[in-house]
Structures are given as C-alpha cells and as structure tokens.
Amino acid sequence: MPTRRQRRLVGAPARCYNRQVLEFRLLGPLEVVRSGEVVTPTGQKQRTLLALLLLNGGRVVSTDVIIDALWGAEPPRTAATSLQNFVSQLRKLVGSDALTILTPGYVLRVPPEQIDVTRFRALVEDARTLAPAEAAAQLREALALWRGSPLPELAYEAWAQTDIAQLEELRLTALEQCVDAELEVGRHADLVAELETLVREQPLRERLRAQLMLALYRCGRQAEALQVYQDARRALVAELGIEPSPVLHELHAKILRQAAGLAPRAPAVAVEDHHAEVLKQCLAGRLVPVLGSDVAALAAQLAEHFQYPEDDDAQLTRVSQYVAVMKGSGPLYDELHTLLAASAVPTAVHRLFAALPPLLRDRGAPHQLIVTTSYDHAVEQAFLDAGEEFDVVSYIAAGRHRGKFCHLAPDRSGALIEVANTYAEELSLERRTVILKLHGQVDPGAEREWESFVVTEDDYIDYLAQTEISNIVPVTLAAKLRRSHFLFLGYTMADWNLRVILNRLWGDNPLSYRSWAVQPEPKPLEREFWRRRDVDVLEQPLDDYAEALARYAGLEPATIG
C-alpha cells in the first residue's frame, strides 16, 4: 500500500501542455488522450505497435522488427497485410504526416512535448540546475506524470523488457534525486515512511539505503539508522556476495561518530537578520572575512602573453604550470609582477572592511584579521585610501624559506617568521588590522624580496603537503582563526584550487563557529560543498552585499563607492 507521500509524488494527475492535441502516455498503462478524452486504440496489436513506435523516439523501426514484436518467431502469412491495416488505423488517430513509411519500415514523429516520457526527462534534467526547494517541487511535478508501472500490458513481451527497465530506472533515479533535494531543505521526517517502503521494494539499491539512514539520523533515530546499514550489508552479501560500497560505509562511519556535516541545513534566514548577525560579530571582533578573487582575467592575460595552446584548459593553475615548465619560473614571476602591480583597484568589499577600523576602535574591539587568497594589493590599497595602518603576513611559496610566512610592517619593512609559536608581540590586533595572504603576493619593491605566488599546479601540490596553516602562522593569528566566525566573499567552488584554502585551514573538519558564504548564484554542488562545512549560503551580488552591510553599520555610501 503506497504511503500518503508516495501518492502525492507519483499519483497526481498529469498535466497536459495543450489539450487540443494528442498526448501520448507511456508512464503507466499506454494511453492516448485528446481534449481530455482517452482515445487509446482498443486492439492489443495496435497498442503494441503504437508503443513500439513511441519507444523508438522518431527512429525508423523495420518491418521485420515490428512483425517479430507483434507475432513472435512464427508470424502468420498475412502478417505484412495485417501490419499495413494496423498502420492505416493508427494514421487515422495520429495523422498521416506523423506516421510515415520510410525504408525499411515505419517512423512515428511526434513533438516531444506530446509524450510524457520526454516531458519527464526534461523536467528531471532541468531540476539539476535548480536550488533544492525549487528542484524538489519540479521533481514532484515530473513524478506526478507517472500513473503506475510503465506499460504493464507489455510486461511479458520479450522485446519490451529493456525499455520498461529503463523507464523504471528513470523513475527511481528521479525519486532519489527528489529525496536528496528534500533532505537538503530539512524534510527528513516526512521522508522516513516513504523511504522505508522504497527500501523494501528495492533492497539492493544503496542510494535509497543511504537516504533512509540519513533521514533517520536527522530525526534523532541513530540506532535505527545504523540498523539500516547492517540490513543492507546482509542483503548485499546474501544476494551478490559483496560488501556495501565505500559511500555507504563512510556514511555509516559518520553516523557512528556523529559527524557535524550530517546535521540538517539550518532554516533560511532573512537577509536583514543575516546582515544584523554578521555586523554584530564583526563589530565585536569575532568575524574573520575570507576574501577570494576572480583570476580568470589574469589567466587569460598570461595565456595570451605566453601563447598558451588555445585548445587546453585555461585555468590559472594550468596556464602557470605550462609557463613554468616551458619558460621557467623567472619569466612567469616577471609577468605576474607586471600584471598584478598594475591591477590593485579596490572593490566595494575591500572598501567596506577598510572603513570599519574607526567603528571597532570606538567600541574597544580588536582590529580585523582579514584572510585573502588574492595576489595583488587591492585590499591594502583600500586601507591606505582610508588612512588606516595594517600589517601583512604573507605565505612564501618558493626559495629557501618555502612553506613559511613573512611579516611586512606598515613601513614595508619585512621579517621572516621563523618560529610561529614565538612570534606574538610583533603582531597585535589590538594595534591594527592584519591581512593574512595565504597564496603569497606581489611585492612592489625594487628588490621584490617578499614576492611569492602559490599559482602553478606544483605549487598547490606542495601547498597541500605542508602542515595545517594554523600551525605555521603566528600564534596570535592561529588563535583568532580557531575562535572566529568566517565570512567567505568572492568564492565559488568551481575551481578546485579555491577549495585548498579550506583544507589548509581546517582539514576535513567543519567550522567551529557559525559561518557564512556570499555567492550571487550558487550551484547545487556549491551549496552541498558549503553545507558539508556547516556554512550558510546567502545569494546576493558582492557589491550589493557590501553596500547593505555598510548601511547596517551606518557608513555613508560614498565610503565604499
């Protein structure tokens, strides 16, 4: 007996896009509908012929294949004549233009929107690009096109078995996709009963088992979630002689240790509440902004200058690796220096944080620790324009001091941080802002003594091999990183190298304090990435976000314009 939720997902009436034209339904018993009236052929062989032509999606089906499907291995001598009669009758239903003779057989051409299978596929595919709540709603709409098992009248026809199995797989995959989306928006309690039924029907389908485990765990039913894993293991060993997949095994391990990433997503927070909370933490000195940058333009300029092959992936790491190997690291650094020294134009985000020190001083709060992966001096320029002093702590990616940080004071004098645990008095957030540059920086000085870039693929390999950043930055900054909320700005997770920063700071662990990421249009994969880090995502353009936060702080718009 299907649950209430199953009936809602798969039992609602299908929507007809244009009720004045024929609609062909394969997601259940074969049906043809015109103007709301069922006009399906009554003869079994006519229905079989129609289903065969529809399943072949506008492809020619040979006469031999059709006769075999209709009569099997021993057709009557009148089979060809009977087939012509069936085709003639079908033409009266679908139109002579739609069903035509084309050597070596027949082809049925129907607009895609008139076939429920095609509409179903389109809705499911489009849902992959949507946010979880919208995706769940669209997938429910797609699943509502189903009226039961596909083509049950052909269940014992040998030729139809592959097509029926493919249709059923489409339904199950869409249902799993829908469950994922609904888990994402916190509907785990509603899903448990449905998933239990689905697991009984599909005991070897591990994705459904994993979804049930997660739903149960989020409902506070950890013991039952673990039992689902044991049941899955017994079923797999008994039926197939195999152990559960690494994915299911890892979920089991996470449930055992109650990993933070399994917790349901927090309810969406109003934009105004978000701004108020972020500003509160910022003005209390408990927020660390983490600023990224778009390096696509830099990659394109390097590629053009060094004649990077046009048919290769032009990500900055790939282009830089190519230049370092083909031309040497010297020419690479020289060109990066030329490009980056001339591109330090602060954005509204940079000017926002440069305008906050007076407010922090008025409240007696410590100054900001600003983390960035930018190579240029746009952040520094914003502070200079605001008349604010700052220290820079920058990573060294090459040379004899590789893997350490250097400290540049406000007068641009530099010092190597030899022992992070003893480098405390030289840096103080009580005195001024500290800008922590995790990927190095351009050095505008003539000697370029402290210039270094984590930019090639080899640089990132070395970077990942180092110990955690929090163990090699000065002790006062490391303590700040461990006890702060984080605000990620300018980050999309499309490029793997941008994710390295999170690995360096926290390894595989979720953040200890509530944190946020601002992205204009996050993709589902990016949302999932942030969710696993317990980071809330706010959809807003960065300049708009900076202006809104400035208004909440009482700053004049001209301050960050």
Whether 153 and 191 share a structural domain: no
Quick one: what percent of the chain has pLDDT higher than 70? 89
Q: Which residue has the higher pLDDT, 172 or 475?
A: 172
Which stretches of 185-292 are DSSP H helices?
Answer: 188-201, 206-218, 222-240, 246-256, 271-283
pLDDT at 524: 67
pLDDT, one tens digit per residue, over 286-300 is 999 999 888 888 889
What contacts 202, CB < 8 A, 6 or more positions away?
172, 208
In the predicted model, is pLDDT for residue 429 greater than 90?
A: yes
Nearest-angstrom CA–CA distance, 117 and 28: 10
Q: Is a pLDDT exceeding 90 seen at residue 356?
A: yes
Beta-bridge mates of residue 22: 34
Given a cut of 50, whether residue 8 has pLDDT beyond it is no
pLDDT band at 540 (very low <50, low <70, confident <90, very high): confident
131 & 190 share domain: no
d(CA 113, CA 18): 9
In a domain, 324, yes or no: no
pLDDT at 504: 65
Classify residue 197 as exposed, middle or buried by CB count within 10 Å of its CB (0-12, 13-18, 19+). Answer: middle
Q: Is residue 502 part of a domain?
A: yes
Band (351; pLDDT cuts 50, 70, 90): very high
Decide: pTM greater than 0.85. Answer: no
For residues 239-268, average pLDDT: 85
Is the pLDDT higher at 21 or at 484?
Answer: 484
Full residue range of the structural domain in which residue 455 is found: 271-295+348-560
1 domain residue, yes or no? yes
Average pLDDT, the chain: 86
Residue 461 banded pLDDT, cuts 50, 70, 90:
confident
Is 171 domain-assigned? yes
pLDDT at 342: 76
Question: What is the secondary structure of 452-476 as a DSSP string?
Answer: EE--SHHHHHHHHHSPPGGGTS-HH
Closest by CA to 392, choosing from 401, 507, 400, 374, is 374
Q: Report whether pLDDT(405) > 50.
A: yes
Predicted confidence (pLDDT) at residue 4 exceeds the cutoff of 50: no
pLDDT confidence bin for 3, thresholds 50/70/90: very low
Does 321 reside within a domain?
no
Query: Is 501 domain-assigned?
Result: yes
pLDDT in tens, 69-89: 899 888 898 988 899 899 888
Position 202 pLDDT exceeds 80: yes
Residue-level pLDDT at 343 = 65
Do residues 413 and 431 both lie within one domain? yes
Residues 256 and 278 in one domain: no
pLDDT at 197 over 70: yes
Q: Among the listed ranges 11-15, 233-237, 297-301, 327-331, which one has the minimum average pLDDT value?
A: 11-15
Q: Which of 243, 265, 287 is the last residue of a domain?
A: 265
Residues 216 and 158 in one domain: no
Asked whether the predicted pLDDT for residue 15 surpasses 60, the reply is no
Specify the pLDDT at position 487. 94
533 and 463 both lie in a single domain: yes
- Domain CATH code at residue 254: 1.25.40.10
Residue written as token pair 């300018």: 490
Examine the domain organization and report whether 52 and 197 are in the same domain: no
**What is the C-alpha end-to-end distance of the chain, expressed in Å?**
62
93-97, 120-124, 402-406: which is most confident: 120-124
Which residue, of 265, 285, 307, is where some domain finishes? 265
Select the more confidently predicted residue: 181 or 522. Answer: 181
38 plus 19 within the same structural domain: yes
Residue after which a domain boundary falls, among 179, 214, 245: 179
154 and 260 within one domain: no
Task: Work out how many domains the chain is built from and give that number.
Answer: 3
Higher pLDDT residue, 17 or 376?
376
* CATH assignment of the domain containing 471: 3.40.50.1220
| Residue 300 maps to a domain | no
Mean per-residue pLDDT for 235-248? 94
Residue range 462-495, pLDDT digits in tens? 776 665 666 678 888 888 888 899 999 988 765 5
Contact indicator for 533, 503 with CB cutoff of 8 Å: no
Q: Which of 158-167, 306-315, 345-354 has the lowest mean pLDDT?
A: 306-315
| Mean pLDDT of the region 349-362 | 94
Q: Which two tokens stand for residue 479?
A: 């303590």
CA distance 225 to 255: 8
Question: Is there a single domain that holds both residue 259 and residue 353?
Answer: no
pLDDT of the residue at 400: 86
Q: What angle do CA 556, 560, 561 make, to 5 degrees?
A: 95
- Residue 125: CATH number of its domain: 1.10.10.10
Q: What is the pLDDT of residues 101-143, one digit of tens each?
A: 888 989 999 998 899 999 999 999 999 888 888 999 999 999 9
Mean pLDDT calculated for residue range 192-217: 95
Asked whether residue 129 falls in the same domain as residue 224, the answer is: no
Within-domain flag for 322: no
Is 132 found in the same domain as 190? no
- Angle, alpha carbons 140-143-146 (nearest 5°): 150
